[in-house]
């Protein structure tokens, strides 16, 4: 009991001290572990043993872990006691009751032949309609099932059922060596892949005590910022589509496509898969990259003029999908969604990789679609500058990074980075070179509950616009 | 009974005009789409794409939702029929060759009938979004109808007639009349964009179901029903633009030249519409009443300006 109270108290105190939660997850040894990022860049862990498969829930005093605890419940069967909403998150009714994917080393069981729908939270009453959208959508997007409670044209509540595709990412990684795990980690999602790759490499390097050479660090900055630009260009181009501003949509996508082709030419992959260890920039690559960057900046200037001048577009974005500052803080929002509320947090400021550069954080507030649009605009321009700095540093030194991790790595480490969609953290537990447990907590995972909150109270017709202003990754939620 | 040479010629022009309206309707939509594609930096589909789509849909399998009724299957034919009758009422040669009742109220009624059936079809298709689209389109209709009446008020005041006849030639060339004429033109453009479901009111090209109006009501259609529904949309596009030019544009004395003028005007208007749609964004749904009240206001102001100086 005393232990349980301490568990809740330390977490609330850490949150109050301005620390950021990196992860909260369980493992096969009945341990619940949380990792916190301190403002000075250190990482500290808290640990608790589940007595009789139960542990005290933090969700009431720390709402941002509500999903993590539900996920532990679904994947391990450990019960967070006192959790306000223990409906299945990852589980589907097709899983047998005794099946907990991460608890034991089970083979795939016999799936039950029932409807896969989980119970939805809806608002009931006169004049209320429940509208279900997805999991298959009209455009080429991933699987997400949205249950709207609407009254006329107003959304009262959104219950987002993600986790539709069960890919078994964390399960697959168990038992793999570092070299074998790389391609899997790289493909956790297509939007933040460099960030995922960096987290993995960084966790392994922490365990082996490797000092990363300067040139290698700049290579990584180059990749991370190239990805940020690619992702932001895409997200920025999607927002105008939500209001029928097709010219900005198509021209933005064209600009993104050119950049993507240049990245493929320089780093070897359109989505930068495996780029961190295979796609290191060469001397000729640097020339090409610089030319591509200059031409992108020219196109960017034209596109900015186009969107800045369209007043109706900004009118549609203002006051829509508002995330209040307190809610963003309470729900642990990260990335663009957090910075748009005026909370100026960017973990690049803590990352050792960026210690030689100043990270400019946009001054934006309001928390609406417009604010998120403006944050991205400014971040793209900041990334242009960072790319030029990195290229300048890499001018002479083009040594390839041939480092291979020792085969007997053992221990636990957390890799984290600021992905285009916010703070992304990976927990690696490895024993004698084989992965024991791997946990991914990406930016999109943290922001989905924030989106659901931002949507409530808005018009049905504004949902696509609000959704696009977050542009969250479904793949990161497909466990 | 000999009808007289003029009537024969008018009948000829009218029949050719009606046929051309039906045949060229997909082309006009294609022109708007091509201009839009070019402004987006895309090559876009061929200007004839509308015809290929219709012929493809006609040959494809037609599926209907399990829980729908004959209403949904009837709707495309009713809407196409309603628009075809509007096309009959348009004086392609400057005036109509027949003297059976062709009141403008009938045209407004036919437009309302089309909207009503589109709404019914949306409700009957038993999908998630059909009802949403039907509700939006019918709500919008309650603003479109008074706006049409307000704009038409000027024509009625000037001609004293409720049939579709052009204003006296040259009326709008008089300097004092330019303002009321301009107001009526702006009012008609506003209401036509709403009636046709184009930007800034509705976006015909979107795939985002939650933002749709007209498209949401036809989401469940396929095959021949979808072909009919698309043909009806194209015909409405032609009819509503042609009506505007008949009422507020110039009329030539020669019926054949007049028909040619209408065809040219339709092509130019389609291109202009594509250009305009590329420069604008969709309005918030809750702003639409304000948008339509502008059209109503313009029409009423035009009447007031003419009436206050005792006619023209």
DSSP letter for each residue of A3-46:
HHHHHHHHHHHHHHTT-EEEEEEE-TTSEEEEEEE-TTS-EEEE
Q: What is the mean pLDDT of residues A412-421?
A: 96
pLDDT digits (tens, 9 = 90+) for A318-369: 999 999 999 999 999 999 999 999 999 999 999 999 998 989 999 999 999 9
**pLDDT the model gives residue B307:** 85
Strand partners, A429: A412, A437
Strand partners, A434: A431
Burial readout B43-54 (b: 16 or more C-beta within 10 A, e: otherwise): ebeebebbeebb
Domain limits, chain B: 5-308
A18 part of contact set with chain B, CB < 8 Å: no
pLDDT digits (tens, 9 = 90+) for A177-189: 999 999 999 999 9
In order of A149, A224, A427, the CA distances from A199 in angstroms are 38, 11, 9
Q: Which residues lie below 8 Å from residue B308, measured CB to CB, with a gap of 6+?
A: none
**pLDDT the model gives residue B173:** 73
B96 versus A114: the higher-pLDDT residue is: A114
* Cis peptide preceding B38, ω within 30 of 0: no
Question: Which candidate from A132, A251, A312 shows the least CB-CB separation from B40?
Answer: A251
| pLDDT over 50 (residue B219) | yes
Closest by alpha carbon to B230, among B79, B19, B73? B79
Q: Smallest CA–CA separation between B120 and chain A, in Å?
A: 18
The alpha carbon torsion through B36, B39, B40, B42 (nearest 10 deg) reads 90
Cα within 13 Å of Cα(A335), Cβ side? 33
In order of A112, B93, B97, B203, the CA distances from B257 in angstroms are 73, 8, 16, 34
What whole-number distance in Å separates Cα of residue A10 and Cα of residue A366? 31
- Alpha carbon of residue A398 to chain centroid: 31
**pLDDT the model gives residue B243:** 93
- Alpha carbon of residue A257 to chain centroid: 22
Q: What CATH architecture does domain A2-119 belong to?
A: 2-Layer Sandwich (3.30)
What is the share, in percent, of chain B residues with pLDDT greater than 70?
A: 97
Averaged pLDDT score across all residues of chain A: 92
Any idea what DSSP says for residue B164? S
**pLDDT the model gives residue B3:** 60
Closest by alpha carbon to B150, among B29, B306, B293? B293
Is residue A105 very low, low, confident or very high in pLDDT (cuts 50, 70, 90)? confident
B200 part of contact set with chain A, CB < 8 Å: yes
| pLDDT over 80 (residue A281) | no
Residue A218 · residue A473 · CB < 8 Å = no
B94 versus A420: the higher-pLDDT residue is: A420
Is residue B1 very low, low, confident or very high in pLDDT (cuts 50, 70, 90)? very low
In order of A43, A170, B245, the CA distances from A412 in angstroms are 12, 15, 76
**DSSP H or E run through A85:** none
What is the share, in percent, of chain B residues with pLDDT greater than 90?
A: 70
pLDDT digits (tens, 9 = 90+) for A123-179: 999 989 999 988 888 777 888 999 999 998 999 999 999 999 888 899 999 999 999
* Cis peptide preceding B200, ω within 30 of 0: yes
Q: B285 vs A153: CB contact, 8 Å cut-off?
A: yes
Any idea what DSSP says for residue A118? P
What whole-number distance in Å separates Cα of residue A311 and Cα of residue A324? 24
Question: Which candidate from A131, A139, A313 shows the least CB-CB separation from B207?
Answer: A139
| pLDDT over 90 (residue A2) | no
Identify the burial level of B167 via C-beta atoms within 10 angstroms of its C-beta, where 0-12 means exposed, 13-18 middle and 19 or more buried.
buried
B289 part of contact set with chain A, CB < 8 Å: no
Question: Which candidate from A242, A244, A460 shows the least CB-CB separation from B199?
Answer: A244
Q: Smallest CA–CA separation between B277 and chain A, in Å?
A: 9
**pLDDT the model gives residue A431:** 95
What whole-number distance in Å separates Cα of residue A370 and Cα of residue A362? 13
Q: Which residues lie below 8 Å from residue B145, measured CB to CB, with a gap of 6+?
A: B108, B112
pLDDT digits (tens, 9 = 90+) for B225-245: 999 999 999 999 999 999 999
Q: B210 vs A250: CB contact, 8 Å cut-off?
A: no
The structure tokens listed for A119 are 């119970």
What is the share, in percent, of chain A residues with pLDDT greater than 90?
A: 79
Query: Is residue A110 helix, strand or coil?
Result: coil
The structure tokens listed for A30 are 């009945």
ipTM over 0.85: yes
Any idea what DSSP says for residue B266? H
| pLDDT over 80 (residue A400) | no
| pLDDT over 70 (residue B310) | no
Burial readout A128-150 (b: 16 or more C-beta within 10 A, e: otherwise): ebebebbbebeeeebbbbbbbbb
Domain limits, chain A: 2-119, 169-465
Question: Which candidate from A131, A139, A312 shows the least CB-CB separation from B128?
Answer: A131
**pLDDT the model gives residue B311:** 59
Closest by alpha carbon to A252, among A300, A206, A290? A300
Residue A359 · residue A347 · CB < 8 Å = no
Q: Smallest CA–CA separation between B123 and chain A, in Å?
A: 14
| pLDDT over 50 (residue A263) | yes
pTM for this structure? Answer: 0.93
Residue with the two structure tokens 């291109």: B271
Residue A435 · residue A173 · CB < 8 Å = yes
Degrees, nearest 5: CA angle A414-A337-A367: 150
**pLDDT the model gives residue A134:** 82
Is residue B18 very low, low, confident or very high in pLDDT (cuts 50, 70, 90)? very high
| pLDDT over 80 (residue B110) | yes
- Give B 122-161 residues with CB within 8 A of chain A: 128, 132, 136
Q: B281 vs A243: CB contact, 8 Å cut-off?
A: yes
**pLDDT the model gives residue A398:** 63
**pLDDT the model gives residue A98:** 87
Averaged pLDDT score across all residues of chain B: 91
Q: Which residues lie below 8 Å from residue A330, measured CB to CB, with a gap of 6+?
A: A63, A64
| pLDDT over 70 (residue A256) | yes
- Could you please state the CATH topology (level 3) that the domain comprising A169-465 is classified under: Cytochrome-c3 Hydrogenase; chain B (1.10.645)
């Amino acid at each position: 009991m005393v232990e349980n109270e301490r568990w809740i108290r330390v977490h609330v105190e850490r949150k109050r001290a301005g620390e950021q939660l990196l992860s909260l997850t369980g493992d096969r040894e009945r341990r619940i572990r949380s990792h916190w990022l301190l403002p000075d860049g250190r990482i500290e862990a808290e640990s608790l043993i589940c007595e009789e498969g139960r542990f005290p829930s933090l969700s009431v005093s720390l709402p941002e872990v509500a999903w993590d605890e539900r996920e532990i419940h679904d994947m391990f069967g450990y019960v967070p006691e006192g959790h306000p909403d223990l409906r299945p998150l990852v589980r589907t009714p097709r899983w047998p009751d005794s099946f907990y994917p991460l608890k034991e080393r089970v083979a795939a069981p016999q799936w039950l032949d029932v409807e896969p729908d989980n119970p939805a939270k809806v608002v009931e009453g006169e004049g209320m309609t429940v509208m279900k959208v997805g999991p298959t959508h009209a455009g080429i997007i991933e699987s997400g099932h949205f249950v709207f409670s609407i009254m006329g044209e107003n959304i009262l509540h959104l219950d987002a059922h993600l986790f539709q595709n069960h890919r078994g990412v964390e399960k697959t990684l168990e038992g793999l060596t570092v070299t074998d795990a790389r391609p899997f980690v790289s493909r956790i999602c297509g939007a933040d892949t460099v960030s995922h790759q960096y987290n993995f490499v960084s966790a392994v390097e922490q365990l082996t005590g490797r000092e990363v050479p300067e040139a290698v660090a700049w290579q990584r900055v180059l990749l991370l910022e190239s990805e940020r630009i690619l992702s932001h260009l895409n997200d920025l181009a999607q927002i105008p589509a939500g209001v029928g501003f097709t010219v900005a949509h198509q021209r933005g996508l064209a600009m993104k496509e050119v950049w993507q082709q240049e990245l493929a030419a320089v780093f070897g992959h359109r989505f930068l898969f495996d780029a961190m260890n295979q796609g290191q920039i060469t001397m000729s690559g640097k020339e090409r990259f610089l030319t591509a960057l200059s031409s992108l900046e020219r196109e960017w200037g034209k596109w900015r003029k186009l969107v800045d001048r369209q007043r109706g577009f900004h009118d549609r974005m203002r006051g829509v999908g508002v995330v209040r500052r307190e809610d963003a803080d309470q729900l642990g929002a990260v990335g663009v969604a957090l910075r748009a509320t005026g909370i100026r947090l960017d973990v690049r400021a803590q990352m050792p990789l960026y210690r030689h550069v100043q990270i400019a954080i946009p001054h934006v507030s309001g928390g609406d679609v417009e604010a998120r649009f403006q944050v991205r605009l400014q971040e793209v321009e900041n990334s242009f500058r960072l790319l030029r700095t990195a290229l300048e540093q890499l001018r002479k030194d083009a040594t390839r990074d041939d480092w291979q991790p020792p085969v007997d790595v053992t221990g636990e480490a957390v890799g984290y980075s600021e992905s285009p969609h916010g703070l992304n953290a990976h927990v690696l537990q490895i024993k004698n070179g084989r992965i024991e447990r791997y946990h991914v907590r990406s930016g999109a995972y943290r922001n989905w509950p924030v989106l659901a909150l931002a949507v409530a109270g808005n018009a049905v017709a504004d949902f696509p616009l609000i959704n696009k202003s977050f542009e969250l990754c479904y793949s990161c939620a497909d466990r | 009974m000999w009808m007289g040479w003029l009537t024969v010629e008018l009948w000829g022009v009218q029949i050719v005009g009606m046929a051309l309206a039906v045949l060229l309707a997909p082309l006009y939509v294609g022109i708007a789409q091509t201009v839009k594609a070019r402004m987006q930096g895309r090559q876009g589909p061929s200007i004839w794409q509308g015809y290929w789509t219709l012929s493809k849909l006609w040959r494809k399998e037609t599926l209907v939702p399990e829980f729908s009724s004959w209403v949904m299957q009837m709707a495309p034919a009713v809407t196409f029929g309603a628009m075809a009758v509007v096309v009959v009422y348009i004086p392609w040669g400057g005036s109509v060759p027949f003297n059976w009742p062709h009141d403008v109220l009938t045209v407004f009624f036919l437009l309302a009938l089309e909207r009503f059936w589109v709404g019914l079809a949306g409700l009957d298709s038993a999908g998630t979004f059909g009802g949403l689209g039907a509700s939006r389109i019918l709500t919008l209709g309650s603003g479109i109808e008074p706006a049409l009446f307000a704009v038409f008020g000027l024509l009625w005041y000037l001609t004293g007639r409720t049939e579709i006849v052009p204003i006296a030639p040259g009326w709008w060339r008089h300097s004092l009349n330019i303002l009321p004429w301009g107001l009526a033109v702006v009012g008609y453009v506003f209401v036509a964009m709403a009636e046709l479901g184009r930007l800034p009111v509705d976006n015909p090209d979107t795939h985002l179901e939650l933002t749709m109006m007209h498209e949401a009501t036809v989401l469940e259609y396929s095959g021949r029903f979808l072909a009919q529904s698309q043909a009806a949309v194209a015909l409405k596009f032609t009819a509503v633009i042609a009506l505007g030019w008949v009422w507020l544009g110039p009329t030539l004395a020669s019926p054949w030249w007049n028909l040619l003028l209408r065809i040219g005007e339709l092509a130019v208007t389609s291109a202009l519409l594509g250009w305009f749609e590329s420069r604008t964004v969709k309005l918030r749904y809750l702003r639409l009443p304000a948008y339509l009240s502008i059209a109503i206001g313009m029409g009423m102001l035009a009447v007031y300006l003419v009436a206050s100086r005792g006619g023209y």
